[in-house]
Amino acid sequence: MNSRPERVVNSRRRRQRRIRRALVSRVRRRHDWFGEIDLRMLERALRLARHCARAGEVPVGAVVYRGDSIVAEAANARERDSDPTAHAEVVALRDAGRRAGSWRLDECRMAVTLEPCPMCAGALVNARLGRLVFAAHDPKAGACGSLYEIPIDPRLNHRLPVVGGVLALRAAAQLRGFFRSRRRNAGSEDQTAVRDHGPRSPARA
């Protein structure tokens, strides 16, 4: 007989499994290629994003995988590398190409926490990526449905199926939390500046 805490944990796990299965089957109704593995990789990307937020990066994580094995994974590293192209997707694709020994990644999929921007969507097309799964839509910069539809643009020489909006609430909450705490910190830095420079400093203007 299980102890009470064990029973609670087990029932919570069963409930989570049910929720996951329901989510996968809901997405599969419109995208029959989507499976449990895609959801798992997206959850992994969310964990990567959470870590990079702690390092002061806008939290975005990306995983490139083939079947159920991970080829490469990365988080946004723009601040760390002082590199405007170091979005999670580009960093992960570069690493995936090196590891696979080929720039062509048509057997791979990517799971990413935020809708790719035009640069990253272009990189996915250039990599001939097989499939894309992303979480939150990005109405200000998204190029996979929001502002542009680069992965399915018939004028380009490669197209790839895309599913967006999976675990979107979690990803959006992560981003909101990051920006909220950055604004809070910026506020306290302003206060410091006012204290350091006195009321007539430009920081006060």
Catalytic residues: 89
Nearer to Zn ion, 39 or 58 (CB): 58
- HSE, CB side, 13 Å, CA atoms: give it for residue 47: 8
Nearer to Zn ion, 85 or 201 (CB): 85
Which stretch in 42-50, 67-75, 91-99, 115-123 sits in contact with Zn ion by CB under 5 A?
A: 115-123
**Rounded Cα gap, residues 60 and 57, in angstroms:** 8
Interaction between residue 120 and Zn ion (CB under 5 A): yes
According to the 3-state scheme, what is the secondary structure of the chain? Answer: CCCHHHHHHHHHHHHHHHHHHHHHHHHHCCCCCCCHHHHHHHHHHHHHHHHHHHCCCCCCEEEEEECCEEEEEEECCHHHHCCCCCCHHHHHHHHHHHHHCCCCCCCCEEEEEECCCHHHHHHHHHCCCCEEEEEECCCCCCCECCCCEHHHCCCCCCCCCEECCCCHHHHHHHHHHHHHHHHHHHHHHHHHHHHHHCCCCHHHC
Query: Which residues does residue 114 pair with via DSSP β-bridges, in sequence order?
Result: 136
Query: Which residues does residue 65 pair with via DSSP β-bridges, in sequence order?
Result: 70, 109
Which stretch in 21-29, 41-49, 84-92, 102-110 sits in contact with Zn ion by CB under 5 A?
A: 84-92
Nearer to Zn ion, 84 or 202 (CB): 84
Least Cβ distance, residue 196 to Zn ion (angstroms): 36
Which stretch in 41-49, 63-71, 118-126, 166-174 sits in contact with Zn ion by CB under 5 A?
A: 118-126
Interaction between residue 117 and Zn ion (CB under 5 A): yes
Nearer to Zn ion, 10 or 52 (CB): 52
Nearer to Zn ion, 87 or 131 (CB): 87
Least Cβ distance, residue 151 to Zn ion (angstroms): 13
Measured at the CA of 86, the angle between CA 77 and CA 167, to 5 degrees, comes to: 70
Which stretch in 3-11, 33-41, 82-90, 105-113 sits in contact with Zn ion by CB under 5 A?
A: 82-90
Least Cβ distance, residue 4 to Zn ion (angstroms): 48
Least Cβ distance, residue 45 to Zn ion (angstroms): 14
Least Cβ distance, residue 102 to Zn ion (angstroms): 22
Interaction between residue 87 and Zn ion (CB under 5 A): yes
List interacting residues with Zn ion (CB under 5 A).
Answer: 87, 117, 119-120
